[in-house]
Chain A
Amino acid sequence: MTETSVSSTRKQRARNKGGLSGLLHRSENLRGYLLMSPTLLVMSIGILAPFLILVTMSLWTRDGFSFDTALTMANYERAWTEPIFGALLKRSFWISGIATVVTVALCYPMAYYVAFHVHRNKMMWIILMTLPFWTSYLLRVFAWKVILGYEGVINSGLMVVGLIEEPLEFLLYSREAVIITLAHAWAAFAILPLYVSLEKIDKSLLEAATDLGDGPVARFLRVTLPLSLPGIIAAAFLIFIPTTGDYITPALLGGPDGAMIGNFIQLQFGPVNNWPMGATLSIVLMLWVSAIALVFLFITRLAKDKIA
């Protein structure tokens, strides 16, 4: 029996049955949509609807206590022309870019060690590394405030040792403080993808490299590093994207020079009382992050092709 005849008899049988099950049998598409529908529903309610609300609101303007719902690009014009917004965006990308590099650079050796040099209880090591992330983000930020503070652990430690006489003031309320805190606060998101990509590397490739005369450094640069590239990219994305919009860390540790775009978005929704502008800035941030991510992806695709 050919396939068409199978389906045609099935269709006939279904037609005979009639009713809902018949309908289900008749339409492959409908069945597909039904299977998808819970996911579709969650996505629409949880992601699509809020996003559409945000986009719509960004086209409104503030009118005293309410909104002027006439659609206009005025907010986007402001975001484009007023220097503060561009400068804050640049500052945010700079801070979270450095935080991303620092985080990945610090987490790579840890992930490497667990992937290549730990042979028993690997899971326990991974859990140990993620242990700090079992407490609230806010608590970790506050902990850094205590560590970096004027009478904090670092300053008092250095003073006891006698390396400094006056507490170092740049430690807290600075961009450096924001970078240090972000690098620690998001480390778990870097360790896990790095570990997974390093773990996946076929050890026989390393043996082959050794057999062909590569030393440890050349072996790392020619085999391990390129093969762990997907993990590095994933880790960088997982850190860069959320940290550009972070506002808790800059608010608590940044001081006057450490404010980021997230703080300004929060202010628009809070004291400044201009929700449409806040929505606009959120969308602008989203667009920029997407653009940067695309460029980044494109470059890594090129690099990968070269390696291959």
Chain B
Amino acid sequence: MDVVDQLGAMREGKMSRRAFTRSLLASGVAIASVPVGARRAMAAAEDQGTYFTWGGYDIPELFQPYNEANGELPNFAVFGGSEEALTKMRGGFVVDVSHPCNSALPRWVKTGLFQSIDTSRLSNWPDVMPELVDLPGNMAEGNDIWMAPFDWGQTSITYRTDLIDLEGEEESWDILWDPKYKGKLGSLGAGADAWWIGAIKAGVPFDQLDTPEAFEKIAAVMREQRPLIRTYTDDNTTLEQALSSGEMVASMTWNSSAVQLQAEGVPVKFAKPKEGALTWVCGLMVHKDAPKLDKAYEIIDSLISVESGKFLIGDYGYGHSNKKAFDEFDEETLTGLGLSKNPIEILQAGHFQIPQTQEWETKMNEMFEQIKAGF
């Protein structure tokens, strides 16, 4: 009997007022308890760990072992820049695993928001390249390992080979500073990449970034570039679409944009700038209050597995921390992706970020934001 029938029944005197109220109460309880039941039916997601990561890493392909073990994917939370992620966690956002990069590592450790990793709980740990573990800040206190390395790669230029004519010259960061392409150039929006590229362009060595002169030199270079830039964004999709439509002829990107555009048949190349590209290693850290610690280790183990590595190398063109993952590819494919079986070669060929202080990070971010806004 629905409410309208009940109203009719009451009006005709078939149903007492009290009975009517009781049945209303019953339906109210039923409605109120629906969400509880429904939530229980979908309870699985609450049992999974939470992985706080960059957009593009929240995909099933990286979680085959995890999915097989749990019948579910982990929960994902996505950030656009690692500094933003840290701020969110400092504000009380608790996750199980997060995904920073080497230059942020010592600062992340210093916040006290993370716990060191018990590598004996990771079945794939023996296959992880030791060179990627031994990063500044990773063994800050004794032998504790704070970050399990996962992916590594380069920040360089993806450019349209049909729209940019190098006229026989070597590939160079100058492409992104060429007034010829005004309004048709793109850039990553976070200082964590852009400012360092500015340093390479300005010729400031990475071990001298912390001086006022360095700030001035790099700021001048970034100001020079700004009017040429169509948009600054950390959204890879925006950059990839703009490159494929010809809205942009070149943009600062990570490896994956070039690899994905090539797979779609767009004539692009991931440059090897003569001044050197920016190289980085990113990895996984466990929150000190991780509510699902077991799942946290399962997430990490899944990400550093050969299956994940195969996807990351083949589809995104990134390096992976599991050395066995490289055995799935022949030398030629790897070279085509700009990778090598000996990752140290690649890492040493480029400029490797050196961790900076929190003061520096704040000052750099603020200055870069002001420059982007036109100051």
Are A269 and B183 touching (Cβ within 8 A)?
no
Q: Which of A62, A83, A88, A255 contacts B231 (CB 8 A)?
A: A255
Give the contacts of A257-296 with B (CB-CB under 8 A). 257, 259, 263-264, 267, 269-274
Minimum CB–CB distance from A156 to chain B (whole Å) comes to: 11
Minimum CB–CB distance from B54 to chain A (whole Å) comes to: 14
Alpha-carbon distance between A255 and B185 when the two chains are bound, in angstroms: 12
Q: Which residues of B contact A150 (CB under 8 A)?
A: 242, 245-247
Are B375 and A84 touching (Cβ within 8 A)?
yes
A-B contact count (CB 8 A): 72
> Digit string of B85-100 for contact with A (CB within 8 Å is 1, else 0)?
0111010000000000
Q: Judge whether B293 is part of the interface by a CB distance below 8 angstroms.
A: no
Q: A150-B245, A272-B362 are in contact. Are A256 and B231 (CB under 8 A)?
A: yes
Where the two chains meet, the residues of A that have a C-beta atom closer than 8 Å to any C-beta of B are 62, 64-65, 83-84, 87-88, 149-151, 167, 169, 173, 255-257, 259, 263-264, 267, 269-274
Alpha-carbon distance between A149 and B246 when the two chains are bound, in angstroms: 12
Q: Judge whether B232 is part of the interface by a CB distance below 8 angstroms.
A: yes
Are B226 and A267 touching (Cβ within 8 A)?
no
Stretch at the interface among B115-123, B294-302, B365-373: B365-373
Per CB-CB distance, the 10 closest pairs between chain A and chain B, nearest first, are A150-B247, A271-B83, A270-B84, A259-B373, A84-B375, A272-B365, A173-B231, A271-B365, A255-B231, A272-B366
Alpha-carbon distance between A62 and B362 when the two chains are bound, in angstroms: 10
Which B residue's beta carbon lies closest to that of A166? B246
Are B111 and A169 touching (Cβ within 8 A)?
no
Give 4 new A-B contacts, CB below 8 A, not counting A271-B81, A273-B83, A274-B362. A149-B247, A256-B229, A270-B87, A273-B358
Which A residue's beta carbon lies closest to that of B184? A169
- Scoring A65, A83, A256 by chain B CB atoms within 10 A of each residue's CB, the highest score goes to A256
Where the two chains meet, the residues of B that have a C-beta atom closer than 8 Å to any C-beta of A are 81, 83-84, 86-88, 90, 110-111, 183, 190-191, 226, 229-232, 242, 245-247, 358-359, 361-362, 365-366, 369-370, 372-375
Are B110 and A271 touching (Cβ within 8 A)?
no
Alpha-carbon distance between A66 and B335 when the two chains are bound, in angstroms: 46
Q: Which residues of B contact A87 (CB under 8 A)?
A: 374-375
Are B359 and A269 touching (Cβ within 8 A)?
no
Q: Which residues of B contact A64 (CB under 8 A)?
A: 358-359
Alpha-carbon distance between A263 and B372 when the two chains are bound, in angstroms: 11
Q: Which residues of A contact B242 (CB under 8 A)?
A: 150
Q: Which residues of A contact B365 (CB under 8 A)?
A: 267, 271-273
Q: Which residues of A contact B369 (CB under 8 A)?
A: 264, 267, 271-272
Q: Which of A256, A273, A274 contacts B372 (CB 8 A)?
A: A256
Alpha-carbon distance between A269 and B373 when the two chains are bound, in angstroms: 17
Alpha-carbon distance between A151 and B231 when the two chains are bound, in angstroms: 16
Minimum CB–CB distance from B243 to chain A (whole Å) comes to: 11
Are B375 and A274 touching (Cβ within 8 A)?
no
Minimum CB–CB distance from A91 to chain B (whole Å) comes to: 9
Q: Which residues of A contact B375 (CB under 8 A)?
A: 83-84, 87
Minimum CB–CB distance from B373 to chain A (whole Å) comes to: 5
Minimum CB–CB distance from A282 to chain B (whole Å) comes to: 16
Q: Which of B110, B183, B358 contacts A169 (CB 8 A)?
A: B183
- Scoring A255, A257, A264, A270 by chain B CB atoms within 10 A of each residue's CB, the highest score goes to A270
Which B residue's beta carbon lies closest to that of A145? B238
- Scoring A87, A264, A271, A272 by chain B CB atoms within 10 A of each residue's CB, the highest score goes to A271
